[in-house]
């Protein structure tokens, strides 16, 4: 959806409220107190009232926007700008575009949207053939941290390298999984496989137990897994019946696992170009957005409506630090 089209569709707060009402009615409003689906709309109060128990459900209750003091037009504009571009928007740039005085509410809004993107993608399990490997992403960390090497070449997976000091960099471990099916290249030099859905999950360690846990949650048991013969992949047979593991030299990684390494390179390039630094504790939210948009790269204008539906269907849960106090956001 182009910016002019968005502006015509949502010129003011009233238009946003009307659209949100229509989407919620189409999805079905359920009373959070008694579970009844029999709701009637109170036009004057802009809320639903339960015909069974009288409980009130506001227009944004139970959605990513619940409890937010930001206008719906801000939320819809953010969703449009996020989904209309191949890259993304930083919270600082979003704040500038919206003309909002405070940075913190815009930052929270962005992370809540990224959180529901991840929740939505977690409902899907990767099928067919799945490439699996680890990536290492540079993150900022205010603690004196221990980091893992960015490359397999010259370092062992799991080997720690310290880089101390305020604002020091660490290497966050990420499990990368991509649906990959064989395809006839149309041109010389093109990949012989095409990518389907993708998932990226931040890990605390590189043990086989951790990798198996992530793979079990992300990959359908009927899928065939392609990975390298690294010790941490030794128990992948417990995840899927068909597992192909082979020793992969760094120079051959892009041939054996083409889409995994393309995804890692593209994500790193995006983060490097768009952000001055990402803290490890928030890396998963940024990966959520990258994967969500990749998985819907052929949706066109429909991606806006799909993200709005996700925003009303799932409630975000992420932790952030506000004025030195750790706060858990559970309801948006």
pLDDT tens-digit series, residues 258-312? 899 999 999 999 998 888 778 899 999 999 999 999 999 999 999 999 999 999 9
Sign of CA dihedral 273, 167, 173, 289: negative
pLDDT class of 316 with cuts at 50, 70, 90: confident
pLDDT class of 87 with cuts at 50, 70, 90: confident
- pTM equals 0.85
d(CA 167, CA 312): 36
Contact (CB, 8 A) for 176 and 134 = yes
Contact (CB, 8 A) for 268 and 248 = no
Residue 100 has pLDDT above 90, yes or no: yes
Q: 158 burial class (0-12, 13-18, 19+ CB within 10 angstroms)? A: middle
d(CA 233, CA 236): 6
What digits encode the pLDDT tens for the residues 255-271? 888 899 999 999 999 99
What digits encode the pLDDT tens for the residues 146-205? 333 333 322 334 444 444 444 578 899 999 999 988 777 667 666 667 899 999 999 999
Average pLDDT, the chain: 86
What digits encode the pLDDT tens for the residues 112-158? 999 999 999 999 999 999 999 999 999 987 554 433 333 332 233 44
Indicate where the chain has its CATH 3.30.420 domain(s).
Answer: 129-279
Q: Percentage of the chain with pLDDT > 70?
A: 85
Instruction: Tell me if the domain spanning 129-279 has CATH number 2.60.40.
Output: no
What is the model's pLDDT at position 320?
54
């Amino acid at each position: 959806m182009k910016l002019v089209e968005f502006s015509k569709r949502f010129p003011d707060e009233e238009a946003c409220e009307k659209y949100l009402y229509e989407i919620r009615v189409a999805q079905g409003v359920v009373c959070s107190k008694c579970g009844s689906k029999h709701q009637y709309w109170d036009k004057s109060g802009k809320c639903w009232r339960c015909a069974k128990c009288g409980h009130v459900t506001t227009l944004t209750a139970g959605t990513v926007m619940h409890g937010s003091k930001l206008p719906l037009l801000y939320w819809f504009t953010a969703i449009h700008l996020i989904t209309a571009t191949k890259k993304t928007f930083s919270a600082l740039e979003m704040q500038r575009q919206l003309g909002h005085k405070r940075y913190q509410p815009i930052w929270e809004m962005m992370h809540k949207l990224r959180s529901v993107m991840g929740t939505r993608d977690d409902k899907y399990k990767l099928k067919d053939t799945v490439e699996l490997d680890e990536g290492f992403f540079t993150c900022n960390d205010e603690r004196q941290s221990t980091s893992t090497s960015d490359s397999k070449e010259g370092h062992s997976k799991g080997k720690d390298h310290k880089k101390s000091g305020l604002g020091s960099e660490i290497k966050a471990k990420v499990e990368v999984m991509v649906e990959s099916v064989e395809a006839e290249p149309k041109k010389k030099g093109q990949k012989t496989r095409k990518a389907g859905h993708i998932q990226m999950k931040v890990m605390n360690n590189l043990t086989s137990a951790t990798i198996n846990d992530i793979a079990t949650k992300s990959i359908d048991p009927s899928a065939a897994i392609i990975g390298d013969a690294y010790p941490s992949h030794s128990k992948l047979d417990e995840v899927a019946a068909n597992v192909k593991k082979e020793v992969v030299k760094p120079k051959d990684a892009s041939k054996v696992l083409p889409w995994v390494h393309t995804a890692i390179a593209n994500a790193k390039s995006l983060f490097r170009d768009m952000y001055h630094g990402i803290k490890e504790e928030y890396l998963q939210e940024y990966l959520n957005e990258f994967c969500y948009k990749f998985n819907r790269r052929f949706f066109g204008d429909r991606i806006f409506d799909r993200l709005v539906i996700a925003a009303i269907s799932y409630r975000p849960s992420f932790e952030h630090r506000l004025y030195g106090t750790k706060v858990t956001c559970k309801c948006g």
